[in-house]
């Protein structure tokens, strides 16, 4: 028995932690989509713990291909059944994706609930979602993924109400017909679109402000760095997918220079594509940013592999030429010299910091200031008073540093990117004074 704190509502309820057994089947690369598909039971174990379960045993198998009815072969299935009985586990979690029929067959054979990695991740997202946008996005992903699996979920719900993987769309919806679910998904999409258009208005109002977005593998320390740099109070926890929403804060470097920093949802290898689809709105923040700050946990087992997984998700959402700054974090946990020697050549310009050390946070802040300087200049322009409205976007972001009128002319000192400077000169009839 364990205690799970319900952080959002501030009360604690005792929920029995589920006892889980993990199964990983190693398949040739062709079966796993080419990259990162190999079983990783350590990470799966962390996912189970994050979802509120304890891992009591695990089993791995190497196979040329999955066995259609039960994914694993019959001999291995007997072994697994023994392991489940020995440990008293009530949940079996597969690192591989199962078809609805395979899940059903396994549940029957093992007399325990069976979840695959995607269902587990969806469950964690459902537990951690707190804002309206995150809840809508998770529900949409759940419906998309669970729709073909409803029959199985239904029997699962009857047996296991309250456990891991039961935060599906709810019984009442399961009883209704498919058309109703389709209608619900359409409504979720509509609501998400509404939120997205509000967000775009906000983005327009910060037009011209340099924006950096923290990206990276889950638990890399993005929110820690965000809090260090901006003084924000973003939720930090040693668990996977602590952050599901995008938070944006203004960073004042000095009286004249400022930029925006965004923290957002972390990635994981083989991130279920329904989730990437559904979280497009949240990830839009990354797309809109001028710079991506790719945070890597230096202390993880295989940093390079995490970098590849993150890049793979990014491929689908941002243009290839989006500037990125690599930041190896948690350097306090590794042999710093050895690590830098190993990675600095492959990642020129990368930073090696610790989010727990104020010097590390400052180093990142300075690096961001440097990037800002590279794209923004402060200049003085002269503009006919009749074209004063051309400065409105700059006023909104506090980028007009000084403004004086001489007769019919306005002389303004502004902080602008090259693109904006050119716009003012070619389109608005401004003249560069200095």
**Looking at beta carbons only, is 230 or 243 nearer to ligand GTP?**
243
- 356 contact choice in Mg ion, ligand GTP, none (CB below 5 to 8 Å, kind-dependent): ligand GTP
Q: Please identify, using beta-carbon distances, which residue of 118 and 329 lies nearer to ligand GTP.
A: 329
Kindly tell me which residue out of 142, 166, 219, 309 binds ligand GTP, with binding defined by CB under 6 A: 219
Binding residue for ligand GTP, selected from 93, 242, 416, 424, defined by CB under 6 A: 242
Could you give the residue ranges of the DSSP H alpha helices within 149-240? 150-160, 171-175, 178-205, 222-230
Rounded distance between C-alpha atoms, residue 163 and residue 51, angstroms: 9
CB of 332 to ligand GTP, least distance (A): 5
The DSSP line for 354-367 is -TTSHHHHHHHHHH
The neighbour count for residue 328, using CB atoms within 10 Å, is 27
**Binding segment for ligand GTP among 3-11, 110-118, 181-189, 237-245 (CB under 6 A)?**
237-245
Cα 42 to Cα 111: distance, rounded to the nearest angstrom: 25
Classify residue 321 by its DSSP letter.
T
25 CB-near residues (< 8 Å, 6+ apart): 39, 60, 61, 62, 63, 66, 71, 72, 94, 95, 96
Binding residue for ligand GTP, selected from 150, 185, 232, 236, defined by CB under 6 A: 236
Q: Is 359 in the site for ligand GTP (CB under 6 A)?
A: no
Report in angstroms how near the CB of residue 290 gets to ligand GTP at its nearest.
21
Closest of 141, 139, 192 to residue 169, by C-alpha: 139
**Do 195 and 282 contact (CB within 8 A), yes or no?**
no
354 binds, among ligand GTP, Mg ion, none (CB under 5 to 8 A by kind): ligand GTP
Nearest approach in angstroms of CB 366 to Mg ion is 23
Residues 228-257, one symbol each (x = binds Mg ion by CB under 5 A, - = not), give: --------------xx--------------
Told to check if 222 binds ligand GTP by CB under 6 A, we report yes
Binding residue for ligand GTP, selected from 355, 367, 376, 383, defined by CB under 6 A: 355
Largest Cα–Cα distance in the chain? 92
CB of 214 to Mg ion, least distance (A): 8
Minimum CB distance to Mg ion, residue 294 (Å): 14
Contact flag: residue 333 with ligand GTP (CB under 6 A): yes
Residue 240 interacts with ligand GTP (CB under 6 A): yes or no: yes
HEC sequence for 386-420 = HHHHHHHHHHHCCCEEEEEEECCEEEEEEEEEHHH
Could you tell me how many helices (H) and strands (E) the chain has, helices first? 16, 16
Q: 408 burial class (0-12, 13-18, 19+ CB within 10 angstroms)?
A: exposed
Q: Does 70 bind Mg ion (CB under 5 A)?
A: no
Query: Binding partner of residue 332 among Mg ion, ligand GTP, none, CB under 5 to 8 Å per kind?
Result: ligand GTP
Select 22 or 242, whichever has its Cβ closest to Mg ion: 242
Binding site for ligand GTP (CB under 6 A): 216, 218-224, 236-238, 240-243, 266, 329-330, 332-333, 354-356
């Amino acid at each position: 028995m364990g205690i799970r704190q319900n952080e959002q509502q501030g009360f604690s309820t005792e929920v029995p932690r589920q006892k889980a057994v993990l199964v990983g089947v190693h398949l040739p690369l062709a079966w796993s989509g080419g990259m990162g598909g190999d079983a990783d039971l350590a990470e799966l174990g962390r996912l189970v713990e994050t979802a509120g379960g304890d891992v009591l045993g695990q089993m791995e198998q190497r196979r040329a291909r999955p066995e259609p009815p039960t994914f694993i072969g019959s001999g291995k299935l007997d072994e697994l059944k023994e392991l489940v009985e020995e440990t008293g586990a009530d949940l079996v979690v597969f690192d591989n994706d199962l078809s609805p029929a395979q899940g059903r067959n396994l549940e029957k054979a093992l007399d325990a609930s069976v979840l695959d990695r995607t269902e587990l991740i969806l469950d964690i997202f459902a537990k951690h979602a707190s804002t309206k946008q995150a809840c809508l996005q998770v529900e949409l992903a759940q419906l998309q993924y669970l729709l073909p699996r409803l029959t199985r979920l239904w029997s699962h719900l009857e047996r296991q109400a309250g456990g891991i993987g039961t935060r599906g769309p709810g019984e009442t919806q399961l009883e209704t017909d498919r058309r109703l679910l389709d209608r619900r998904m359409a409504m979720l999409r509509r609501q998400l679109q509404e939120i997205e258009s509000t967000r775009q208005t906000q983005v327009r109002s910060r037009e011209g402000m340099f924006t950096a977005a923290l990206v990276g593998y889950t638990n890399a320390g993005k929110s820690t760095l965000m809090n260090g740099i901006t003084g924000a109070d973003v939720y930090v926890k040693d668990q996977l997918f602590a952050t599901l929403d995008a938070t944006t804060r203004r960073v004042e470097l000095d009286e004249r220079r400022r930029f925006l920093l965004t923290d957002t949802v972390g990635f994981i290898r083989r991130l279920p594509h329904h989730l990437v689809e559904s979280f497009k709105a949240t990830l839009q923040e990354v797309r809109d940013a001028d710079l991506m700050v790719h945070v890597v946990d230096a202390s993880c087992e295989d940093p390079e592999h995490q970098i590849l997984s993150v890049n793979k998700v990014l491929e689908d959402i941002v243009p290839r030429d989006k500037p990125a700054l690599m930041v190896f974090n948690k350097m306090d946990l590794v042999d710093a010299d050895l690590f830098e020697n190993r990675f600095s050549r492959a990642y020129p310009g990368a930073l090696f910091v610790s989010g727990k050390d104020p010097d590390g946070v400052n180093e990142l802040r300075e690096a961001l200031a440097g990037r800002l300087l590279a794209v923004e200049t402060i200049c003085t322009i002269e503009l006919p008073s009749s074209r004063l409205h051309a400065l409105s976007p700059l006023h909104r972001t506090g980028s007009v540093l000084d403004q004086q009128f001489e007769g019919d002319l306005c002389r303004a000192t502004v902080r602008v990117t090259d693109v904006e400077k050119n716009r003012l000169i070619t389109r608005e009839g401004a003249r560069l004074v200095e």
